[in-house]
Amino acid sequence: MKIISKEVLADCAGTRIVKLTLSAPEISRKAKAGQFVVVMACEKGERIPLTIVGADSKAETITLIFQETGLSTKTLGALSAGDNLYALVGPLGHATDHGLAACGKVILVAGGVGIAEIYPVAKSLKQAGNNITVVIGAKTKELLILEKELKDIADKVYVVTDDGSYGRKGFTTAALEELLKQGEYDLVYNVGPIPMMKKAAEISRSFNTRAIVSLNALMVDATGMCGCCRVTVAGQVKFSCVDGPEFEADKIDWEELEKRNCMYLDKEKHICKLKFS
Amino acid sequence: MRREPVKARELAADKRADSFDEVVAGYSESQAFSEAGRCLQCKNPTCISGCPVGINIKKFIYQITQNDYASAYFTIRETNNFPSICGRVCPAEYQCRKACVLNKSRIAYASSEAINIHFLERFIGDYGMRHNLKVPKEEDARLSKIKVAVVGSGPAGLCCAGELARKGIKVVIFESLQSCGGVLRYGIPGFRLPDEILDYEINYLNRLGVEFKTNVVVGKTILLNELFQQGFDKVFLGLGAGVPSFLGIKGENLCNVYSANEFLTRVNLMSAYKFPEYHTPVNIGEHVLVIGGGNTAMDAARCALRLQKMSGIQPGVSIIYRRTETEMPARRLEIGHAREEGIEFKFLTQPKEFYADEKGFVRGLNALSCKLGDPDSSGRKRPVADEGSDFTIPCDLAIIAVGLQANRVLSSVTPELKTDKYQDIVVDPGSMETSMKNVFAGGDIVGGEGTVIEAMGMAKKAARAIIDKA
Ligand SMILES: Cc1cc2nc3c(=O)[nH]c(=O)nc-3n(C[C@H](O)[C@H](O)[C@H](O)COP(=O)(O)OP(=O)(O)OC[C@H]3O[C@@H](n4cnc5c(N)ncnc54)[C@H](O)[C@@H]3O)c2cc1C
Ligand SMILES: Cc1cc2nc3c(=O)[nH]c(=O)nc-3n(C[C@H](O)[C@H](O)[C@H](O)COP(=O)(O)OP(=O)(O)OC[C@H]3O[C@@H](n4cnc5c(N)ncnc54)[C@H](O)[C@@H]3O)c2cc1C
Ligand code: SF4
Ligand code: SF4
Ligand code: FES
């Protein structure tokens, strides 16, 4: 659970994205694309889920990339190389379903820190023989991460920024729509804020293209023992941590998820102000 | 003239519900002596047959009357590894006390006349703890080379580990959470079972040489067959029943509708009642509804009441149950405590649908009235909802405590492990061995939700089989 190295990938206009490489022998051997870990930064900390962005079984390390959005991610971001996490458990959740393995042409769409979450999936889908197109977006140039890494593995990479400071100006979902208009794709894989995933799901549906999303429901134990992470998919209640985190985008009750993810907004703001100001 | 049963000391209801301090203080020495003196020392001590592990109740009570507490401790320890824990949480009124000859009731649980065996057991357990009494190790050279992996650190896992370690077997416990104890840690609140009691037993296992590996999910971090590859000779699975059931009604995923497991895990395991010192939040409301009638429902309701008091909210917690008080499966002591603390009970009420405000937060429950019909397979009268009797109960937080199912993380990736239709693990009842050779199981993962002492009973049986077959 020791932090081997730390790197600040982006730090601009109040947004900080941090990369940690952790010693995690057992997890590094088991981790597959699409899976996540639960981290407790300190003894009094929360259990928060973070995607396993990379795993190196030889070096016995895993890599996490996260944005400092609130207290728990800020506490984690304040640690340095050599520090130990209080708890690290995984790999959790299902690996990216390899029913997708050789499905053909895939577009992966992500914005902000979501780019970190699609990276391992893009890599694994490429290795499985698919043609990979990636659409990544950020608010502004300084906040764009993993562009080079994705260019190394993907067949095509499109970059958009909200302010037009780099790549095309606009949103990832608009770029997705354009690509689907221009050509046939077999699958859309998407990670990002809920409104973006919802929009991407609508667009994919309108082109009759299958879409998969990795959901970011709130979690506690992340082993199926609390139901905090429950989402409604095709009218059925699922636990994101053990049944997901990936689901068919088409069938998700987005409104419910969006509301549930705001359940602690007041408390989170309060504690973050209290401890980080 | 026969003496009155001796009540255990308790914190007053108005003084205790704003903290997580332990409610029951237990017997003093003179109280224990007096209660022990009520025991008839029956020629045929029926009480023993009521205890799932068959503690020699008559004998340990006699030893109390002789002021021989150490001997009483060792009498209990012959069959029960954790008397201080069981003395606090065992539903004795459904078990040993129900079978005591002094019990006058014919219903599911004992009347107050039955000897307070659990309080006596607690007194002795705590005496043993205070005096650091230990059952001697019985190391057996034949066993010293054996390595056993115990998966899950609930009462079943802890008990099995202790039994094996005492014989000199090398035991490693794998637990998926960050701390050990299973339900004893994340479910049962500190006001019923303080962390120190659990920690004492865990430290003792540590000293016996048991190794604890927390943050390991067997089936994810490491697979079952890999344990054997790593040199373990046998495996014991004490995975528990930790998956919450829901009602399957509309509105159950609204904000502020919790499963009892989530609510209790946030409060107990993650210490959300000390937010913001601890970082995990939990919400609380002014009108809290808890659906269910078991121990989980009582614990959730009493935690909610404490959170209300600690945040300066006028207490308002109601328990909604489909049947009546008589059919409630919770411990009678805790039903009484809940009521004393100000929790309301709404019986014969069946939830129909939760409704919300525009932000998606729960605002109330539509419910139906029920009548009791004919007994069902469990022997309890079946509730029959009165169609058309709809009424609403306002609430701003609801907790669902309607049962738990098997933990499936391990079995879902281990097809060789035979499970039944409830996903419980199938075992040979004599040895507790599963369909996989050298893999044993016990506790709630076998036969569903039970009690702490039943879990320990199964674990002991498995430990014996592991030792015999070694
Ligand atoms: C399976 C899974 C994988 C994830 N992987 C990553 C990852 O690789 N990198 C990363 O940066 N984040 C990831 N997340 C999200 C991450 O867990 C949350 O950002 C984190 O829990 C926030 O904690 P906090 O205390 O710092 O912020 P909080 O104070 O809890 O929240 C700050 C803000 O973030 C929002 N928020 C909180 N939790 C989530 C959430 N789960 N999803 C979306 N918004 C949330 C809050 O509503 C609030 O507006 C993942 C989530 C899941 C479920
Ligand atoms: C709120 C509540 C109150 C209760 N009150 C009482 C009471 O007053 N009296 C009473 O007698 N009984 C009570 N019970 C029931 C009692 O707690 C259980 O019967 C008992 O804890 C079962 O013990 P166990 O060891 O089988 O499982 P558990 O206590 O459930 O422990 C199982 C452990 O295994 C871990 N685990 C599961 N899967 C894995 C895996 N794949 N890898 C690693 N670890 C894993 C879990 O994290 C957990 O820590 C209560 C239950 C609840 C929920
Ligand atoms: S363990 Fe429980 S059932 Fe057995 S004697 Fe003690 S209180 Fe009674
Ligand atoms: S049945 Fe009751 S009175 Fe008789 S020995 Fe047992 S505890 Fe004592
Ligand atoms: S986070 Fe607890 S069940 Fe998924």
Looking at residue B368, its pLDDT comes to 94
Residue spans of the domains in chain A: they are: 3-92, 100-261
Specify whether the CB–CB gap between B221 and A223 falls below 8 A: no
Specify whether the CB–CB gap between B147 and B229 falls below 8 A: no
Query: Which two three-digit tokens encode residue A101?
Result: 């393995």
CATH 3.40.50.80 fits A100-261, yes or no: yes
B155 lines ligand 2 (CB under 6 A): yes
| Ligand 4 atom with minimal separation from the B46 CA | 1
Write the single-letter amino acid at A79: L
Q: Enter the CATH code of domain A3-92.
A: 2.40.30.10
Overall CATH class of domain B9-130? mainly alpha
B151 lines ligand 2 (CB under 6 A): yes
The CATH superfamily holding the domain B244-404 is FAD/NAD(P)-binding domain (3.50.50.60)
For Cα atoms A69, A243, A133, give the angle at the middle one, nearest 5 degrees.
65
The protein residue whose alpha carbon is closest to atom 7 in ligand 1 is A50
Q: Enter the CATH code of domain B141-242+406-468.
A: 3.50.50.60
A30: alpha, beta or left? (left if phi > 0; alpha if psi -120 to 50): alpha
| Ligand 3 atom with minimal separation from the B87 CA | 7
Domains B9-130 and B141-242+406-468 share a fold: no
Q: What's the ipTM?
A: 0.94
Q: In A144-230, where does DSSP find H-type helix?
A: 147-153, 172-182, 194-206
What Å distances lie between residue B91 and A25, B82, B294, CA to CA?
Answer: 43, 15, 11
Ligand nearest to the CA of B445: 2
Determine how β-strand B211-213 pairs with β-strand A54-56.
Answer: unpaired
Query: Which two three-digit tokens encode residue B245?
Result: 């059931």
pTM score over 0.90: yes
Q: What is the pLDDT along chain B (470 residues), one digit of tens a residue?
A: 468 999 999 999 888 989 999 999 999 999 999 999 999 999 999 999 999 999 999 999 999 999 999 999 999 998 899 999 999 999 999 999 999 999 998 888 999 999 999 999 999 999 999 999 988 888 888 888 899 999 999 999 999 999 999 999 999 999 999 999 999 999 999 999 999 999 999 999 999 999 999 999 999 999 999 999 999 999 999 999 999 999 999 999 999 999 999 999 999 999 999 999 999 999 999 999 999 999 999 999 999 999 999 999 999 999 999 999 999 999 999 999 999 999 999 999 999 999 999 999 999 999 999 998 888 877 778 899 999 999 999 999 999 999 999 999 999 999 999 999 999 999 999 999 999 999 999 999 998 999 999 999 999 999 999 999 87
The protein residue whose alpha carbon is closest to atom 28 in ligand 1 is A70
Residue spans of the domains in chain B: they are: 9-130, 141-242+406-468, 244-404
Q: Which of A239, A229, A179, A238 is nearest to A209 (CA)?
A: A179
Determine the Cα–Cα distance for residues B261 and B41; give it in Å rounded to an integer.
42
The DSSP output letter for B418 is -
Query: Which two three-digit tokens encode residue A126?
Result: 């490429």
Determine whether the interchain pair B252/A237 forms a contact, defined as Cβ–Cβ distance below 8 Å: yes
Determine the Cα–Cα distance for residues A183 and A104; give it in Å rounded to an integer.
13
Asked if the C-beta of B214 comes within 8 angstroms of chain A's C-beta atoms, the answer is: yes
The DSSP output letter for B266 is I
Which of chain A's residues have a Cβ under 8 Å away from the Cβ of B244?
225-227
Looking at residue B1, its pLDDT comes to 47
- Lining ligand 4 with CB less than 6 A are B 39-42, 45-47, 57-58, 61, 100-102, 115, 117
pLDDT in tens, B253-289: 999 999 999 999 999 999 999 999 999 999 999 999 9
Query: Which two three-digit tokens encode residue B105?
Result: 């009731």
Query: Which two three-digit tokens encode residue A114?
Result: 């979501």
pLDDT in tens, B368-421: 999 988 888 777 788 999 999 999 999 999 999 999 999 999 999 999 999 999
Q: What is the pLDDT along chain A (277 residues), one digit of tens a residue?
A: 899 999 999 998 888 999 999 999 999 999 999 999 999 999 999 999 999 999 999 999 999 999 999 899 999 999 999 999 999 998 999 998 756 667 789 999 999 999 999 999 999 999 888 999 999 999 999 999 999 999 999 999 999 999 999 989 999 999 999 999 998 899 999 999 999 999 999 999 999 999 999 999 999 999 999 999 999 999 999 999 999 899 999 999 999 999 999 999 888 888 877 777 6
Residue in the block written with tokens 């569903």? B448
Other C-beta atoms closer than 10 Å to the C-beta of B10 total 16
Asked if the C-beta of B262 comes within 8 angstroms of chain A's C-beta atoms, the answer is: yes
Query: Which two three-digit tokens encode residue B406?
Result: 């098997």
The protein residue whose alpha carbon is closest to atom 4 in ligand 3 is B51
